[in-house]
Chain A
Amino acid sequence: MYHSVCNLSDLKPNVPVTFEVDDRFVLVTLIDGEVYCIDDVCTHDGGTLGEGEVDGNCIACPRHGAKFDLRSGDALCMPATEPTCSHDVKVDSGTVLVQLRD
């Protein structure tokens, strides 16, 4: 099921925004004209990524520096070894819609 989270015009390139979708927090980011969504959760210690430093397509966890790809959720460096969950996104008439994966 897709949930409306924001308007496409609300997103700035490479600036992740946190939204609550169905009791979960996710990061929605506009990168190279595409919208991506990953869990706002660091798989290293379960902390939140949202306030982390963004460098291009990746975000660093503010606690221990683990980096994740904002598009795929892949863990890019230690101490995280597991990807964080990525979710399906579509844009319909300027509205960004997210469908959660397990």
Chain B
Amino acid sequence: MNAALIASESLGKFSREGFDAFVARRIDPIWLTEKRRSVWETFDAMDWPNPRDENWMRSDLRGFKLDKFTPVDETLTLEPTAAPVRLRDGVDMGGDISSVNGLVISQSLDPELAAKGVVFCSLSKACRDHAELVKKHLHSLIDSAADRFAALEAAMWSDGVFLYVPRNVVVEKPLHLHSAMVDGGIDLAHTLVVLEEGAQATVLTECSSEVEQGSGFHCGGVELILGARSNLRFVSLQDWGQKVWAFAHQKASVGQDATIQWTVAAMGSRFAQVDQQVELVAPGASSYVNGVMFTRDRQHLTYNTIQRHCSQHCTSDFLYKSVLQDRSRTVWRGMIKVDEGADKTDGYQRNDNLMLSDHARADSIPGLEIKADDVRCTHGSTSGRVDEELIFYAQTRGFTRHEAVLMIVTGFFQQIFDRITIESVREALGAAIARQVRQVD
């Protein structure tokens, strides 16, 4: 068994005593400790999400037992794991960070980028070395009281990543983050990205478990803050073990004439619930979000997305596609919110679902909430079974049934692939999808 688990047996659970021990073990600055203590009180006073709440009514949390998990011991030295890394192959990286069970074990950054003032390091380290910068932005987007998972993450995040790109600095090479989890482990990690005016960067993040059928608990947060005219390409590949419970709050704030291209791929975990928000906070802000979900067995993945137009002349485009096998289930709730006065809005959202099994289920709930007069907001959703005629036609041309299904699934996702501008990501996603396609009954 991994040393991280053996040592953690005596550390106490996510109780007040466990929290106190967690804080005592850390070497956080005082401002952070105070912040943690304040949010812990919020967590302690909250109930678990109400199943009647619209965000949670399609999610069965009864099987989730927080007491099964133990806060990780950050005083341990953790070794690299065999958890697969998919987005690094053949890519010339500008920086690379690896973590195990939510603790950073290695970090590197191209010296040329460091000389330009770029910061790419462990979030714990950044809280000490770049306190004013982190203090200003950490948990500034995500409401720690949004639900009990958001509060737990804000109180007990163990580590994570901080990226800061100064004004007008262009980071050409992608920066990479891999989060690994041992079987039965936990990952409470936070990603904070701050791009100053005119800055540009590409960030590839991925997570995976050491054991494909591994269990565990992920409770994470992602905050992406884009200054005016900045440009961020952010990729997130979720491939946790098949028995992992995963919860996350992810939010981007996009400034004037700034652009975010955000690609999400979700393949792993037993149960995942992600709240993803993009706020367009100044004129001319744009967001392009691509989501791929591929589920199997009895996986249950929920994505609640909000694209919020707070200002005029902003564009948002969300495209989520899911392929479901076996008895898996996806839930996608998409909402376009347009604030009063946010005229000349161009908002689009779409969710397509392809069922490869009679027993799979996809819930697709697009929505609009518009308080401005002069807008163009459109949304759409399609769900359907894989077309037997297409499979038959391919078989008459010499393809096996499996090859035919793989071809159809690849074609289904092609629209998303076409929108992904990073070749390594396209290849990694294609390979991951090909690996998961099973025979269709």
Interface residues of A (CB under 8 A from B): 20, 23-25, 45-48, 102
CB-CB < 8 A to A20: which residues of B? 62-63
Interface of A is mostly: loop
Q: Is B57 an interface residue (CB 8 A)?
A: yes
Q: Quick check: is B80 within 8 A (CB to CB) of the other chain?
A: no
Please name all residues of chain A whose beta carbon is closer than 8 Å to the beta carbon of B60 when the two chains form the complex.
25, 46, 48
Least CB distance from B404 to A in Å reads 25
Residues on the B chain within 8 Å of A47, using CB:
57-58
A-B contact pairs, 10 of them (CB 8 A): A23-B63, A23-B243, A23-B270, A23-B298, A25-B63, A46-B58, A46-B329, A46-B361, A48-B60, A48-B62
The chain B residue with its CB closest to the CB of A25 is B62
Instruction: For the complex of A and B, list the 9 residue pairs with the smallest distance between their C-beta atoms, beginning with the closest.
Output: A46-B58, A23-B63, A25-B62, A20-B63, A46-B361, A48-B60, A46-B329, A25-B60, A47-B57
Which residues of chain A come closer than 8 Å to B361, judged between CB atoms?
A: 46
Q: Is the CB of B51 within 8 A of A45?
A: no
A48 and B363 CA atoms in complex are apart in Å by 16
Report the minimum CB–CB distance from B426 to chain A (whole Å): 33
B274 to chain A, nearest CB (A): 18
Please name all residues of chain A whose beta carbon is closer than 8 Å to the beta carbon of B327 when the two chains form the complex: 102
Most buried by B among A23, A25, A48: A23
Residues of B within 8 A of A24 (CB): 298
| Closest chain A residue, CB of each to CB of B51 | A48
In the bound complex, residues from chain B placing their C-beta under 8 Å from that of A102 are 327
* Chain B residue with the shortest CB-CB distance to A102: B327
Which residues of B, 350-405, contact A by the 8 Å Cβ criterion? 361, 363
Which residue of A is nearest B358, CB measured? A82
Give every chain A residue within 8 A of B363 (Cβ-Cβ): 45-46
| In contact, B63 and A45 (Cβ under 8 angstroms) | no
Q: Chain A residues near B63: list those with CB within 8 A.
A: 20, 23, 25
Q: Knowing that A47-B57, A102-B327 touch, tell me 10 more A-B residue pairs with CB under 8 angstroms.
A: A20-B62, A20-B63, A23-B243, A23-B298, A45-B58, A46-B60, A46-B361, A46-B363, A48-B51, A48-B60
Across the interface, name the chain B residue whose C-beta is closest to A23: B63
B47-94 with Cβ < 8 A to chain A: 51, 57-58, 60, 62-63
| Docked pose: A20 CA to B62 CA in angstroms | 9
CB-CB under 8 A from A23, the residues of chain B are 63, 243, 270, 298
A96 to B24, CA, bound (A): 47
Report Cα–Cα, A102/B327, bound state, in Å.
Answer: 9
Chain B neighbourhood of A46, CB < 8 A? 58, 60, 329, 361, 363
Chain A residue numbers with a CB within 8 Å of B270 are: 23
Nearest CB in chain B: distance from A100 CB, A: 11
**Chain B 249-280 interface residues, beta-carbon cutoff 8 Å to A:** 270
Tell me the bound Cα distance from A46 to B59 in angstroms: 9
Closest to B329 in A: A46
Tell me the nearest residue of chain A to B57, going by C-beta: A47
Min C-beta distance of A48 to chain B, whole Å: 6
**How far apart are the CA atoms of A45 and B58 in the complex, in Å?**
8
